[in-house]
Homo-oligomer: A and B are copies of this chain.
């Protein structure tokens, strides 16, 4: 049941990958508004219905292509740093590390994330995926591991990441000519996470 496990899991991963890749490619090629779900499904060689077995919205596939399971690795990275380092430090480093991709996307992709509200929303929703696995990793290191504390802390981390990503992509469709202090993403993440660090350290 592990990663390379059965042929079954393998194919499932391949299909998922094919879908999100196709979604991103098509969105870049012809613009996100001219891509139908059926197009993506066809490009990936599955039925439109199957698409919705993998992604529950059209934009989710694009967001998934950009982040490609980044979140799920954060929990593992935290667990790996298990030793004597402070929890806040472990979490912050794990997050920053995972969000510091090599090239971190081309300009075109960034345009998609910043200009299309629906895609932006889907992108900002991705950090939520880290909550459950991260909560377990945190539970292994805090005192009150039965209570809601691990869940709450994990949710706080996810929230901080979301806020950082929101600032990074630019201030939503709300204000028009406001300040855009879009620093580097790693820096934004560190600042945002520093606000929750006291809560993390107080728990262990």
Give residues in A with beta carbon < 8 Å to B. Answer: 147-149, 151-153, 155-156, 158-160, 162-164, 167, 188, 191-192, 195-199, 201-203
B152 close to A192 (CB less than 8 A): yes
Give the chain B neighbours of A147 by CB distance below 8 A. 191
User: Considering the chains assembled together, what is the distance between the CA atoms of A156 and B161 in angstroms?
Assistant: 11
A195–B163 touching, CB < 8 Å:
no
B198 with A202: CB separation less than 8 A: yes
List residues of chain B with CB within 8 A of the CB of A149: 191, 195
Shortest C-beta distance, A99 to chain B (Å), equals 15
Q: How many copies does the complex hold?
A: 2
Contact A197 B195 (CB under 8 A): no
**Main DSSP-derived SS at the A contact region:** helix
Q: Point out which of A149, A155, A192, A197 has the most chain B C-beta atoms below 10 A from its C-beta.
A: A155
Contact B195 A152 (CB under 8 A): yes
A118 to B78, CA, bound (A): 32
> Which chain B positions have C-beta within 8 A of A156?
155-156, 159-160, 195-196, 199
Please tell me if the beta carbons of A198 and B198 are within 8 angstroms of each other in the complex: yes
Q: A196 vs B195: C-alpha distance in the bound complex, in angstroms? A: 10
User: Are A163 and B192 interface neighbours, CB within 8 A?
Assistant: no
Cα-based distance from A197 to B151 in the complex (angstroms): 15
Interchain CA distance A158-B158 in the complex, whole Å = 12
A152-B159 in contact (CB<8A): yes
A195 to chain B minimum Cβ distance, whole angstroms, is 4
Cβ-neighbour of A195 out of B164, B188, B203 (below 8 A) = B203
Within the complex, what minimum Cβ distance (angstroms) separates A180 from chain B? 13
Minimum distance in angstroms from A137 CB to a CB of chain B: 16
